[in-house]
Structure 1
């Protein structure tokens, strides 16, 4: 790249006057995936398995996203009505985790009374190690501890600045995939996004121990909790503190948070930990709980909702619940509408009728007007109600595989992501083991 172009890129991030050395040779990729969670890992593995030079950028030091760093370690749902509806790379990850003793599969032939009975509980370490190995085996270049600082689209490709421990480094890619969950890349590139006026609460997963429930006076506990709640010293408990002592976990709804950017995510993390600490301080005043301790808490507060893209099409509540097969349907999603109310513990759930399986259209992964960027995971285009269902991990894996393969095809044919032939995409997805809806 010429020095003049390099200077222009530096000026984009305010460094033009501080850099006088000539540009080093840029490291180039066919596809860069941002976000190493359920969607991003699968997208990167898929792109790399097609032979494309692929990088996976992740701000944390381990892969897995919400499954690992937020400890929501129960991916689902891969099956519906006794039949598998999400396979491919996502299911391969589960199978390898099971093979290493990191998970046990439920009986999928039984239609459960509760949908979450068919989520797959995974050991976080085994699961993350499987992701590492699958990425490396596929040839993915893992770029942990890095975040995007600037993206400059040009006719020659997309120039990406990543901020790491040693500062900024520039890279070039033909196609990009936003699997950040918050549509961060779409926002940086100027594509339209939206979010609700109010957002669903977050959750800080934790495990408590160091007490004997038989020694805890339930009436006294409930009286102390009510007094502390009236004084504003603790937040409202989801199930009552006695029940939470029984299960060994403080169930939290961290309300009034917005994790859309780093500053607001910081406030969300601080609020979540303070909320847990205040509850622990109260419990230690209760007889039998003097030695209560938090044995484990997640690295991050689990986030349910932030930005969603304005896509080439949008999945709405009715199309989701009805199981409408979109003309460009590329994968399934199966989970009930699951909107957690922003001001309490109420959950607005709407269940899918027996035999119905919702589908996801390819165009819901394309920011409106985009040529080089796809999204995968919970920031796909949908209304709040549909998004509360397709945001779950198995569905994110399915959309990740679609995005990874579509980006590869677009890079290979040097076409816009909007022009990827749907029939070709479907055939190739099936070749790589994905389960693809058949149009009516």
Structure 2
């Protein structure tokens, strides 16, 4: 049985920085990813505009994730936004990039770090055995086992934490809807009579030809969908992607929504040549499960920029709670930047385990903000450093790792550590 210092499960925005950080520190690391490419939300789900890395005119998240984002833009010959001043709308500081190039650059960075990789692989069972975790993996060839001193759950869904018996927060609120990201082509938005289109669309919604989620968080108008050519405009409601059955429902419902909208628009003036330029292969999921951590980031903590004593990364994004009926959005007050504590990534009462990314411990409103890609990259890199340091000296409790050494390790790889 192969033995690792660290196994990272999930190769998205939190997972790949965690794995690369740990491997660059000399740990024997394995990254396990269920799909055929790394990058997760940015690449697989085609939310290829990660953010936010800057706040109030200064950079607050950098390091491994930011480096690959920046190099992707440079390689394609694109331009980064002007980060010198806060924009009126926060999305203007998100970075537009080519997801295909980003995935390839992550592959390159991972290979150069020495981290091992298994794509098309998922955990089937996780149990503690002495001072190691025994992880049963399911690959195309069947089941096989590895063992590791530490596990980092970067699945976004707390799937590994669930298998390992870590406590999860009870699901009291309705989960946020998902979104299939796609791009329409074959029409000129400037030639579309939006008022006339909306009148017909509302009638179509009333008779069941369209559904409320097809209007996304934009209420009673298809204007955003038309002008953006789709992108992340629609909502797939009533899903729970924590299980394979739930994820199957999400995929089927989201593709049905795309087909429904396409069929409707195709019959409207100006859309005679409508086509689908591209669509993400998977429905993007905003929320599933969250660990019950040694600490929990609350709405008030996040909104007021609490400075946690064990903060390991920054976060800057508005409260961004998507619902079946719209969007609850709250901007942070001028000058406020939030922080992410290490203790929120530690499942309560469980050693040698970290959860990085959107499954870190927080309430629903706080999670709606810190779940975004830039924050997850910062969290993941910090988690990789903590696990690597702990495995080197045989520490089983992440909170016992020397805080100064965590700072030193991530700053050496370009990260920005909280003051």
- Could you say whether these structures have the same fold, taking a TM-score greater than 0.5 normalized by the shorter chain as the test? yes
Q: Which residue of 1 aligns with 2:11?
A: 36
Q: Which residue of 2 aligns with 1:332?
A: 314
Q: Which residue of 2 aligns with 1:228?
A: 204
Q: Which residue of 2 aligns with 1:9?
A: none
CA shift, 1:355, in A, is 1.3
CA shift, 1:157, in A, is 1.2
TM-score using structure 1 length? 0.90
* 1:340/1:213 CA distance change after superposition, 3 Å: closer
More divergent stretch after superposition (203-212 vs 49-58): 203-212
Q: Which residue of 2 aligns with 1:110?
A: 85
- CA contact under 8 A between 2:126 and 2:134: conserved in structure 1? yes
Q: Which residue of 1 aligns with 2:296?
A: 314
1:80-135 superposed Cα distances (whole Å, 9 cap, x missing partner): 11111111212221232133126421111122111111111111111111100000
Q: Which residue of 2 aligns with 1:199?
A: 175
Alignment partner of 1:176 is 2:151: yes
- CA contact under 8 A between 2:6 and 2:387: conserved in structure 1? yes
1:48-94 superposed Cα distances (whole Å, 9 cap, x missing partner): 00011111000111110000111101111111111111112122212
Runs of 5+ in structure 2 lacking a partner?
none
CA distance in 2, matches of 1:168, 1:188: 15
- CA contact under 8 A between 2:21 and 2:410: conserved in structure 1? no
1:152-196 superposed Cα distances (whole Å, 9 cap, x missing partner): 211141111111111011111111100000011111111111234
CA distance in 1, matches of 2:299, 2:104: 36
CA shift, 1:426, in A, is 2.2
Runs of 5+ in structure 1 lacking a partner?
1-25
In the TM superposition, 1:417-428 aligns within 5 A as 417-428=398-409
| RMSD (CA atoms) | 1.7
In the TM superposition, 1:154-173 aligns within 5 A as 154-173=129-148
Q: Which residue of 1 aligns with 2:267?
A: 285
Q: Which residue of 2 aligns with 1:11?
A: none
Pick aligned residue for 2:222 from 241, 262, 269: 241
Could you list the structure 1 runs, at least 4 aligned residues long, displaced by more than 6 angstroms after superposition: none
**SS of the counterpart of 2:404?**
helix
In the TM superposition, 1:355-370 aligns within 5 A as 355-370=335-350
CA distance in 2, matches of 1:372, 1:275: 42
Pick aligned residue for 2:358 from 363, 374, 378: 378
